[in-house]
């Protein structure tokens, strides 16, 4: 009876022992080791623009009846200032003074060709009439978003070409089948020098509109850097 019990016990624990033994001998998965080459490459390009971002301030004192037509008045006035240009309202503040009149401050913004900036300051001031005043707040000579993006696309394509050339050179030198492991692009725009003036306690890039020459162009340097890692797999012997 005791022998039968011992045999049954051995039959019960033996498969478990074999299972534990086989699991302990299974190799752990290993990731391939890599040879890495980490370097940076930079390119630059000048972006030329013949436009400027113009911000006009409108300060009005109106009764409630005049408020109903104020936006229409502003739109009509700005339409006479520049033809075929869409102005966008970027700021609107409304308060009531002690006499019950509404004090309105608005800011309208548009991108204009530099040949439209001739005498812009005086033309804007001449839009003023009793109860409403127009003034130039800011004229900023910077490329448009579309112009900057076109330059960035061009610089990125140039960097891809340089990276491919570097990869070919590394492969030829070391004969280890290198590939592109990672690319990270960063960019920094080098701002162009423009006149500076203090406006409401904040320094902004300003320009004297009357000094702008017809068809004038401005340039801004755009710099893009690629942080590159080339890699090859180390053969397991």
Which residues, given as ranges, of the chain have pLDDT below 50?
Answer: 6-7, 9-10, 16-19, 21-22, 190-212
- Give tens-digit pLDDT for 79-97: 999 888 999 999 999 888 8
Do 66 and 177 share a structural domain? no
Using CA atoms, how far apart are residues 79 and 199, in angstroms rounded to an integer? Answer: 26
pTM of the model: 0.65
Using alpha carbons, select from 11, 47, 5, 10 the residue that is nearest to residue 218: 47
Query: CATH code at 91?
Result: 3.30.70.360
Looking at the structure, tell me whether residues 162 and 111 fall in a common domain.
no
Q: Indicate whether 148 and 39 sit together in one domain.
A: yes
The residue with tokens 């006149």 is 195
Which domain range does residue 131 map to?
A: 51-140
- Residue 106 CA, distance from chain mean position: 27
From 140, 175, 202, give the residue that closes a domain. Answer: 140
Of 140, 173, 202, the domain-final residue = 140
In a domain, 196, yes or no: no
With CA atoms as reference, report the closest residue to 127 among 52, 75, 168: 75
Question: What domain count does the chain have?
Answer: 2
Classify the C-alpha dihedral 10-12-14-16 as positive or negative: negative
Q: What is the pLDDT of residues 52-82, one digit of tens each?
A: 999 999 999 887 666 778 888 999 999 999 8
Residue 117 CB contacts under 8 Å (≥ 6 apart), including other chains: 52, 54, 139, 207, 209, 212
- Residue 117 within any structural domain of the chain: yes
């Amino acid at each position: 009876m005791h022998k039968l019990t011992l045999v049954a016990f051995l039959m019960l624990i033996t498969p478990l022992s074999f299972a534990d033994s086989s699991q302990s001998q299974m190799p752990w998965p290993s990731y391939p080791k890599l040879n890495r080459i980490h370097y940076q490459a930079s390119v630059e390009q000048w972006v030329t623009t013949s436009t400027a971002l113009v911000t006009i301030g409108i300060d009005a004192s109106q009764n409630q009846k005049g408020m109903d037509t104020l936006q229409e008045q502003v739109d009509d006035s700005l339409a006479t200032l520049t033809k075929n240009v869409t102005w966008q309202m970027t700021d609107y503040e409304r308060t009531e003074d002690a006499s019950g009149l509404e004090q309105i401050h608005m800011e309208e913004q548009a991108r204009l060709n530099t040949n439209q900036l001739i005498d812009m300051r005086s033309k804007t001031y001449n839009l003023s009439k009793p109860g409403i005043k127009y003034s130039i707040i800011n004229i900023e000579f910077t490329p448009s978003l579309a112009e900057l993006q076109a330059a960035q696309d061009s610089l990125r394509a140039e960097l891809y070409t340089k990276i491919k050339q570097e990869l070919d050179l590394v492969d030829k030198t070391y004969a280890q089948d290198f590939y592109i492991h990672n690319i990270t692009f960063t960019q920094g725009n080098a701002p162009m020098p423009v006149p500076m003036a203090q406006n409401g306690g904040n320094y902004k890039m300003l320009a004297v509109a009357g000094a702008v020459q017809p068809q004038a162009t401005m340039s801004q340097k755009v710099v893009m850097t690629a942080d590159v890692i080339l890699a090859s797999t180390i053969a397991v012997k």
